[in-house]
Amino acid sequence: MSVFNYQKDADGIVTVTMDMTGPVNAMNEEYRGAMAETVAKLETEKELTGVIFASAKTVFFAGGDLNELLAFEKGREAAFMAMLSTIKGDLRKLEKLPVPVVAAINGAALGGGFEICLASNYRIAYNHKSVQLGLPEVTLGLLPGGGGIVRMVNLLGLQAALPYLLEGKKVTPQEALNAGMIDETVDTLDALLPRAKAYILENKGNAEAAQQPWDKKEFRIPGGSANSPKMAQVLAIAPAMLAQKTRGLLPAPEQILDCAVEAARLDFDTALLIESRAFAYLVGTPEAKNMISTFFFQLNKVNSGASRPSNIEPQLTKKVGVLGAGMMGQGIAYVSALAGIEVVLKDISIEAAEKGKAYSSAILDKGIARGRVTEDKKNQVLALIKATADDQDLQGCDLIIEAVFENVALKNKITSATEKYLCDSGIWGSNTSTLPITQLAEASSKPENFIGVHFFSPVDKMPLVEIICGEKTSDLALAKAFDYARQIKKTPIVVNDSLGFFTSRTFGTYFDEGARLVVEGAHPIKVDNLGKAIGMPVGPLTVHDEVSQELTRKAMETWTDMGVVDKWGEQNALREIIDFLTLKNGRGGRHHNGGYFDYSDGNKTLWPNVLETYYKSEVTISDQDIKDRLLFRQVIETLKCLESNVLRTVADGNIGSIMGIGAPLWTGGFLQFINTYGLDKFQVRCSELAATFGERFTCPAIVGEKIKGGDTFI
């Protein structure tokens, strides 16, 4: 029995219900055989009125088989092109049938799934929030290889299609309808197939309904071809705008733009061939392998609970207390209430607590102004947040998260005073970004219920939560924290205890290395720009200004009190810079009178004294050395975290480095980067950097162990 259920009714309508082996329909070898068989049968069908493509799964069609794509090796391009030709050939035959083909979209149709829809003459979708439509391949370092670029450009026009192709935008059925990506929606699943059949019967014998727009003689691409004067203006600036976004580090967007332009310039079938060639190139790039490995397989692994204790029942958080209504606390309160959780937002005064609650109101007002939030939704969310200065209001919380300043004594005092208000099985979470959880838990009467729950700023936008287990943290506490993170729609990584844990510890090496380069005499602007050149969101000096040197100074004082004299070993150039900026010149960061840079009148300029004090024109450090130093420091620190079991899994390291630290997307995360860079090559480069710039670049032993065992970081 075929995995494409083929049924013809009395009206001559064939319904093809895709029900492939496995949980979802995917564009794999099984699909290729089933589609070829189905199209061949349709081409010989007598008295055919129309065709409907439907799905027996909750997802209409999930897209390409990423396992196949990840296994692709260079040198197999010819076979890959032949496979693409088969896929596209069948879709081309489908859209050239002499009867209407309708896609009855009951669930998400992304990537290859939406390409099947685009090859249909008419697209009807169930109008529900669970139904997502689009071509997100660019987020995996790929492009739509089943004709998606060519059909989107011909359907919408070049300019209108580019955001969906270059950004991988996923849209709801209503948004897709407004954009012209689909033709109709229905309000219930039960109405989907009847409406598809009704459309076919309404257009029985109508040759126009059975022909794709681009196959009609009079067809013109909406908005004009690539050669039109209007499009010529757009295309003159598009490459520069794209380069500004990707910094030349992501090949997929560049290939997509090229293919889209060719689709608006060449005949349809030639454009399909151009698209196939670009796809065959991209699938063999290290960027694609990195992004597929991390953003699909490892992200799914993390979100599915691979690091969560499997023997603990799901833990639902009903009432959360948030201690401290500052920048972090107010954000935690907002995302919790948005998820439907009752929130007690406590600060030392009711005025401070109300100010923290106002943050949620301001975000919701912005959502209302943009048409994304209703007044009713705003009122529902705000009603869940109780601003207070009274500890008694915490009574009955099943989770309390402390989000106060990074001071051990202060945190311990708060723990001792308020943990008694937790319910019997309640969990205490600290939003510390650096302080060891085991030490903080000493102030708790139930250290087994104490855990680190590290959010990132701004909380409402940053997708990651770093969960830190102390020496006595129980599986129940971990499960509770993990489930809470998923409940508020965050991605949780789980790490073991240490000073700075994983993200803060690794992130710190980025601006530490930036400080070292400045002290050595490199030009500060060059150092900052080369940080962006490797793909970091901002340069190391700029990010340190944002984090604030004053915060680093206070953290260093705390480390000294804890007996940690030098966090990263060797000479501490970072301490020299901190003392120079904060103690000698009163510059604690962007919001503390400036740091490396001045920020007067909204303009950012280098503070002249940094240049005068440190820059040495005779010092020559190559651009490549600077870039490698900024990147390798973070990779090496990640390896040390894995080696010492601070990081529990490779997946947590990659996802955490991307979502929490801002690791360059093209790397797939700091550990995945080593796999495609090459472990042997990485070891050699570390030795070169260590010989020239210091022992901090010594390659961790775990790399040599992997090489010896013939393994990679998976």
Average pLDDT over residues 471-497: 98
Tokens representing 418 are 């308020």
The pLDDT confidence band at residue 236, using thresholds 50, 70 and 90, is confident
Contact 470/499 with Cβ under 8 angstroms?
no
- The Cβ of residue 649 has, within 10 Å, a number of other Cβ atoms equal to 20
442-475 pLDDT, tens digit per residue, is 999 999 999 999 999 999 999 999 999 999 999 9
Three-class SS state of 389: coil
Res. 406: pLDDT tops 90: no
Three-class SS state of 266: coil
**Measured torsion, CA atoms of residues 187, 188, 189, 191, in degrees rounded to the nearest 10:** -90
Calpha distance 380→338 (Å, rounded): 9
Q: What is the DSSP pairing of strand 109-110 with strand 50-55? A: unpaired
Tokens representing 468 are 């830190």
- Closest Cα partner for 157 from 71, 66, 240, 221? 221
Please give the CATH number for the structural domain made up of 504-645+678-709: 1.10.1040.50
The pLDDT confidence band at residue 565, using thresholds 50, 70 and 90, is low
Tokens representing 684 are 């050699």
Tokens representing 383 are 């009603």
Q: What is the DSSP pairing of strand 450-455 with strand 464-469? A: antiparallel
Average pLDDT over residues 125-147: 97
Res. 409: pLDDT tops 70: yes
Calpha distance 597→512 (Å, rounded): 17
Q: What angle do CA 45, 47, 48 make, to 5 degrees?
A: 65
Tokens representing 342 are 């009752």
Res. 567: pLDDT tops 80: no
DSSP secondary structure code for residue 700 in this structure: P
- Closest Cα partner for 155 from 290, 253, 63, 260? 260
- The Cβ of residue 216 has, within 10 Å, a number of other Cβ atoms equal to 11
pLDDT at residue 570, rounded to an integer:
46
Calpha distance 188→641 (Å, rounded): 50
- The Cβ of residue 623 has, within 10 Å, a number of other Cβ atoms equal to 11
Query: Letter for the amino acid at 636?
Result: I
Contact 124/192 with Cβ under 8 angstroms?
yes
The pLDDT confidence band at residue 230, using thresholds 50, 70 and 90, is confident
Res. 334: pLDDT tops 90: yes
Contact 446/418 with Cβ under 8 angstroms?
no
Contact 448/470 with Cβ under 8 angstroms?
no
DSSP secondary structure code for residue 592 in this structure: B
The CATH H-level superfamily of 4-284 is 2-enoyl-CoA Hydratase; Chain A, domain 1 (3.90.226.10)
Contact 400/346 with Cβ under 8 angstroms?
no
pLDDT at residue 569, rounded to an integer:
47
Tokens representing 411 are 């945190």
Is the alpha carbon torsion for 277, 280, 283, 287 positive or negative? Answer: negative
Average pLDDT over residues 378-393: 98
Calpha distance 307→312 (Å, rounded): 12
Any idea which residue has 């219930």 for tokens? Answer: 188
Tokens representing 455 are 């959010």
Res. 249: pLDDT tops 60: yes
- Closest Cα partner for 508 from 298, 650, 696? 696
Contacts for 412 with CB less than 8 Å, ≥ 6 apart? 440, 442, 443
Class of domain 319-497: alpha beta
List, in sequence order, the alpha helices (H) in 644-669. 650-656
Average pLDDT over residues 209-219: 95
Contact 99/210 with Cβ under 8 angstroms?
yes
Q: What is the DSSP string of 117-165?
A: HHTSSEEEEE-STT--EE--GGGGT---TTTHHHHHHHHH-HHHHHHHH
Tokens representing 416 are 């001792």
Calpha distance 639→659 (Å, rounded): 17
Any idea which residue has 């689909």 for tokens? Answer: 182
The pLDDT confidence band at residue 485, using thresholds 50, 70 and 90, is very high
Q: What angle do CA 399, 400, 404 make, to 5 degrees?
A: 155
Res. 235: pLDDT tops 90: no
Average pLDDT over residues 511-524: 96
Calpha distance 657→100 (Å, rounded): 48
Buried b (16+ CB within 10 A) or exposed e, 409-445: eebbebbeebbebbeeebbbbbbbbbbbbbbbbebbe
Res. 540: pLDDT tops 70: yes
Calpha distance 488→484 (Å, rounded): 6
Element (H, E) at 468: strand 464-469
Contact 273/87 with Cβ under 8 angstroms?
no
Calpha distance 532→623 (Å, rounded): 12
Contact 343/333 with Cβ under 8 angstroms?
yes
Percentages of the chain per state (helix, strand, coil), in multiples of 5: 55, 15, 35
First CA to last CA distance, the chain = 37
Q: What is the DSSP pairing of strand 397-402 with strand 422-430? A: parallel
Contacts for 33 with CB less than 8 Å, ≥ 6 apart? none
> Rounded to 5 degrees, what are φ and ψ at 486?
-70, -35
The pLDDT confidence band at residue 566, using thresholds 50, 70 and 90, is low
The Cα-based distances of 195 to 115, 185, 393 in angstroms read 21, 9, 54
Average pLDDT over residues 525-536: 98
Specify the range with the lowest mean pLDDT, choosing from 223-237, 329-343, 533-547. 223-237
Query: Letter for the amino acid at 328?
Result: M
Contacts for 681 with CB less than 8 Å, ≥ 6 apart? none
The pLDDT confidence band at residue 234, using thresholds 50, 70 and 90, is confident
Q: In the chain, what are the domain boundaries?
A: 4-284, 319-497, 504-645+678-709
What pTM, to 2 d.p., does this model score? 0.94
